[in-house]
Structure 1
Amino acid sequence: MPAEGRSSKARIVTAAAAALCVLAGLPAIAAPSAAPPAAQVSLERASVPASADARQVAHWIVDSGDNRGRPFAIVDKRAAQLVVFEPGGRIVGAASALLGSAIGDDAVPGLGALDPADIAPADRTTPAGRFASEPGRNLDGEAVIWFDYDAGLAIHRVRPGTARQPREQRLSSASTEDNRVSLGCVVVAPAFFDAVVQPLLGRRDGVVYVLSEMRPVHEAFGGEWMALRQP
């Protein structure tokens, strides 16, 4: 990772890496609550339709302290959803997300150095695993949350342009199958990014957990997975 990527300052990526972060949005969001952080995961109280895998991982994160006092997010690829939590485990919001168009859990080495046109369709994955996140900016000055800087992968808003409306329609549809359209970034509606993502992950370092879609959920975290308990 570039030296500047080791600080908490805003970062600029190469044009090829920045171009990886180009996709969509969603109209409805779960607004932040004013309640104090809980000492346990509060998915149930928030009435968020999170999957069993997301609930299992959220409980493990809080029980084990794996997030080390940092805000965190869970990307559930099977459900095409991003769920954002305060450090203590209280959920702040959840929304549909656009993900890599290719099914798979592994990143291709050197992907961030490629021109987007040279990225094979089969390589356009959102990799699974545990990622230290950091706020930054792309070449256009847009706020993003880097979770794999070397690959140019981030959580970000749907970007302006001719593809914006059809991508918003993909996110608002009932199907999750049409959410697979990005080059690997996790893309949400501007309203959700501004109200939920930015206030937590956009002001300090965090952790992003991307759930596997090809393997049992625990395999994505390897040796990090410990003290697992069912919610």
Structure 2
Amino acid sequence: MTDHGRRRSGFAMLRGVALLASLAVGVGGPGRATAAPAAAPTTARFDGEAVSDAARETADWVVASHDNTSLPFIVIDKINARVFAFDRAGALRGAAPALLGMARGDDSVPGIGHRKLATITPAERTTPAGRFEAALGHDFDQDILWIDYDAALSMHRVIVGRKIDNRAGRLASPTPNDNRISYGCVNVPPGFYDGVVKPLFTGTVGIVYILPETKPLRSVFAVPG
């Protein structure tokens, strides 16, 4: 959930319009000649970016299996607090650190998206693992990427929050050890959100893969062993 209030504004309509837009990409008119398709990639392109084995295996599986259904996708590595954003062909568009849910765990508490933030205990502030269909939307005062609408889980620019939380400082630190502070949402640097995430998801839905941290990877995704 966004950590400073939330408003769900027309997500279902946005999802439908964005999906139609994504399906329309590359469709030619009657009688239009089309070039022979290039060979489809079988692995994700990280372009030298440091990445964990789990994140690489997941991204490679997405590309090889076409699990993203030709949509842009994001892989979130909770253990290392890193976000990797890819275009529909599996080419890396950007990577960044992230702030994540305060509590370690791979499931959302049932009904948490409808509760007031003040009632959510530290142990319930998890960023759930799984595959999510995501789309841009809004909360009260900023645009965000809705990851799980029912659980009020989103990705958004890092917020100021309480001074004691020092979110910007945590995000800028060289290790992931202090990146667990949010109510569950994924906080990323503003430049990464505006320069990578927003352009990738404008006019289309996409897929977000959040890697598990307490469950085995292959119990969440069909990654080859």
Provide the TM-score with structure 1 as the length reference.
Answer: 0.79
Aligned to 1:49: 50
Query: Amino acid of the residue matched to residue 13 of structure 2?
Result: S
Within a 5 Å distance, the mapping from 1:112-151 to structure 2 comes to 112-140=113-141, 142-151=142-151
Provide the secondary structure at the position in 2 that maps to 1:7: helix
Q: Which runs of 5+ in 2 are unaligned?
A: 1-7, 17-37
Aligned to 2:197: 197
Within a 5 Å distance, the mapping from 1:156-195 to structure 2 comes to 156-160=156-160, 163=163, 166-195=166-195
* Structure ID, larger Rg: 2
Call closer, same or farther: CA 1:161–1:181 in 2, change over 3 Å.
Answer: closer
Query: Amino acid of the residue matched to residue 47 of structure 1?
Result: G
| Cα displacement (A) at 1:50 | 1.2
Moved over 6 A (4+): none
Query: Amino acid of the residue matched to residue 173 of structure 2?
Result: S
Q: Which runs of 5+ in 1 are unaligned?
A: 11-35
**Does 2:8 correspond to 1:7?**
no
| Cα displacement (A) at 1:171 | 1.1
| Cα displacement (A) at 1:165 | 8.7
> Given that residues 44 and 56 in structure 2 are in contact (C-alpha distance below 8 angstroms), is that contact kept between their aligned partners in structure 1?
no
| Cα displacement (A) at 1:4 | 3.6
- Cα distance in 2 for residues equivalent to 1:114 and 1:218: 31
**Does 2:222 correspond to 1:207?**
no
Provide the secondary structure at the position in 2 that maps to 1:156: strand
> Given that residues 43 and 50 in structure 1 are in contact (C-alpha distance below 8 angstroms), is that contact kept between their aligned partners in structure 2?
no
Query: Amino acid of the residue matched to residue 71 of structure 2?
Result: R
Query: Amino acid of the residue matched to residue 84 of structure 1?
Result: A
Number of equivalenced pairs: 197
- Cα distance in 2 for residues equivalent to 1:58 and 1:85: 9
| Cα displacement (A) at 1:43 | 3.3
| Cα displacement (A) at 1:6 | 2.0
Aligned to 1:29: none
Query: Amino acid of the residue matched to residue 41 of structure 2?
Result: A
> Given that residues 98 and 187 in structure 1 are in contact (C-alpha distance below 8 angstroms), is that contact kept between their aligned partners in structure 2?
yes
Provide the TM-score with structure 2 as the length reference.
Answer: 0.81
